[in-house]
Structure 1
């Protein structure tokens, strides 16, 4: 089992469990570092989460998880040092083979999802722009629907490159912010980085990442009055009609 050593002496305690925290975020002591899900709220979330998760898997972002998950299953084994960058609800844990540690971090974690952690989870609170890991320490990295949110993207991508071993794999998905969905519903207020399909490939190449595989997918169902976006795992030859971009990169060192 390959458990990463978080390079920090700062911790935030959750139910007597010390969660490593990078120094910069720890100094700010933001209440949102661990989002509260207590009492009735946690009970409701526990009941509704399986239903919402099933809906998401079938009609929302499920195809994104399945595509990245398929790559994880293909390229990871019990000896792989794996890292989920911006782990959210820890959705990729289930795709790892037995014996492979789920190393992951995010700038904010939910009490509910922390309470569901298993012994082979190694979770930290950190930013992709300041990853508390040693150089050349990771074999396979995942970042799904994360990079579009990061201010100072150059620094974050350089950090991902720094912690990657030579020839490490980086599986990534980002939204197509220029697709029909956003033209109809308006831009997502938290998306600060926007790329066309080829722009992102060129951007990553300039930072030392070689594209091994890339494609577009996601047909938006035009139901504008709903907050959630419903999408089908279909591909169009016209970039405008694809909601998401997928990339498999190799780190060149």
Structure 2
């Protein structure tokens, strides 16, 4: 077996060649840009690696889709309401299309993309328009969508400037791009270091902070409406890369059930809101949530 692999020679965000290996994270091929501070994977996955990984991932993934998740989707859709002009919404990397299913029930004309054939097939069977592909040029008419969403997808991309350029192309002027991504500055990462479950090659290739995510969008002439870092994950705080690789659905289920417990208890819900406020102020929440407007 050939152990040689290609490496990124420049920062995938700003293009600087001034990048260095991060001590203690060598096994995950992590490097950091001295100019813009982006942390990303230097190793470039082959198409074969990606296809093998995601085909296996789609076969083993089991998402715990709770009532709390549905309610959170409805809250998001309420936030999107003021951007509703063409009535079209796109979810990039939409998985089986659960978010789009809720959006469709609320009158949106929905579109999704996903590189898993089984996910696309599953969605189409339920009446969700999912294209089995990554986001590509000439996939849609320019300025076609009111809202484009990207839930935990941007970290899978090793050419983020191209991805955001396509999002800008397909989003109408004044439209909203909403994205979430793991926060590289989260408490979980500082606690687990190199064993943090988010570090999974070739699935995750770039890791953002509020600063680097904002730079990516501002580089592409978006206006930042707000960036939050909230949430904590008991499963991820306890888990290692071994657990992550072997039982992805287990981690998801634990977190969903924890959220359910907090939502049902008034005291715990208040504590959660207080904690989220602290995590947002300090920039150490487990997830970054970004709202960006096309100028």
Q: TM-score, normalising length from structure 1?
A: 0.67
Q: Give the equivalent residue in structure 2 for 1:100.
A: 108
**Per-residue deviation at 1:71?**
2.1
Larger mean CA deviation between 234-243 and 141-150 belongs to: 234-243
State the Cα RMSD in Å.
3.5
Against the structure 1 CA distance between its residues 162 and 135, is the aligned structure 2 distance closer, same or farther, given a 3 Å change threshold?
same
Q: Give the equivalent residue in structure 1 for 2:205.
A: 192
**Are the counterparts in 2 of residues 178 and 240 from structure 1 also a CA contact under 8 Å?**
yes
Query: Comparing both structures, which one devotes a greater share of its residues to strand?
Result: 1
**Per-residue deviation at 1:74?**
3.5
Larger mean CA deviation between 236-245 and 78-87 belongs to: 236-245
Q: Aligned match of 1:128 in 122, 135, 143?
A: 135
Larger mean CA deviation between 166-175 and 90-99 belongs to: 90-99
Task: Determine whether 1:224 maps to 2:221.
Answer: no
Q: Give the equivalent residue in structure 1 for 2:262.
A: none
The 2-side partners of 1:141 and 1:124 are apart by 15
**Per-residue deviation at 1:146?**
0.1
Q: Aligned match of 1:109 in 88, 109, 117?
A: 117
Task: Determine whether 1:150 maps to 2:157.
Answer: yes
The 2-side partners of 1:192 and 1:245 are apart by 16
Where in structure 2 are there 5+ consecutive unaligned residues? 1-47, 260-271
Query: Comparing both structures, which one devotes a greater share of its residues to helix?
Result: 2
Q: Give the equivalent residue in structure 1 for 2:11.
A: none
**Are the counterparts in 2 of residues 173 and 247 from structure 1 also a CA contact under 8 Å?**
yes
**Are the counterparts in 2 of residues 138 and 168 from structure 1 also a CA contact under 8 Å?**
yes
Q: Aligned match of 1:72 in 72, 77, 98?
A: 77
Against the structure 1 CA distance between its residues 182 and 136, is the aligned structure 2 distance closer, same or farther, given a 3 Å change threshold?
same
Task: Determine whether 1:173 maps to 2:180.
Answer: yes
Q: TM-score, normalising length from structure 2?
A: 0.59
Where in structure 1 are there 5+ consecutive unaligned residues? 1-27
The 2-side partners of 1:31 and 1:199 are apart by 28
Question: What are the superposed Cα offsets for residues 77-129 of structure 1, whole Å, 9 maximum, x if unpaired?
Answer: 69511111111121212431443222111122325x62353665222122235
The 2-side partners of 1:130 and 1:211 are apart by 24
3-state DSSP of counterpart to 1:204: helix
**Are the counterparts in 1 of residues 183 and 284 from structure 2 also a CA contact under 8 Å?**
no
3-state DSSP of counterpart to 2:233: strand
Task: Determine whether 1:138 maps to 2:145.
Answer: yes
* Within-5 A mapping of 1:5-84: 35=55, 53-54=64-65, 57=66, 67=72, 69-76=74-81, 80-84=87-91
